[in-house]
Amino acid sequence: MKAPQVFTAPVDTSKALLVAGGGAAVFAAADALLEAIYYTDPEGWRQKFPYLLFNERIPPLDDWLGFLVPAGLLVAGAYTMNPLLAYFGFGGTLYGGGALLKDFIQRNKFLIGLQAASVQYAKGGARVAKQLSTYA
């Protein structure tokens, strides 16, 4: 029985980081372009592809595409054993996943309590730092 092939990356680290960074930059630019197009005429683009919004608590389709397209490239690169494509997709997936998570958090109010607690903690930390500075 033939042993299954395992995806390994025969690419040096600096090249892999450069390609992954390029993937993140390309998909960040694509996301910025989509956002700029939307904000030229928000009412005109509302509920048109790729700005479809299915629910107020879920990010619109353009944000999902910014995550799913590079994730597809990552999977395709791993499947075809093409490490550069996989790294490019990996960088884009990191950017797209973070952007999607940020948008999801902003749209959902369940984190308001956590956010308020972190603000109180920050204020308390500033108070303690100010008090400690009087002893110096």
Domain segments of the chain as ranges: 13-110
Please provide the DSSP assignment of 5-59 as one string: P-----S-HHHHHHHHHHHHHHHHHHHHHHHHHHHHSHHHHTTSTT---S-TTS-
> Count of CB atoms within 10 A of residue 77's CB?
20
Give phi and psi for 81, each to the nearest 5: 60, 35
CA distance 134 to 55: 51
Residue 131 is predicted with a pLDDT of 59
pTM confidence score: 0.73
Residue 4 is predicted with a pLDDT of 58
Burial class (CB in 10 A: 0-12, 13-18, 19+), 131: exposed
What is the mean pLDDT for each group of 10 consecutive residues in the chain (136 residues)?
Answer: 59 87 96 93 91 90 95 94 93 95 80 60 62 59
Residue 108 is predicted with a pLDDT of 79
Residue 107 is predicted with a pLDDT of 82
CA distance 12 to 39: 41
Residue 56 is predicted with a pLDDT of 86
Nearest to 24 by CA among 105, 101, 99: 99
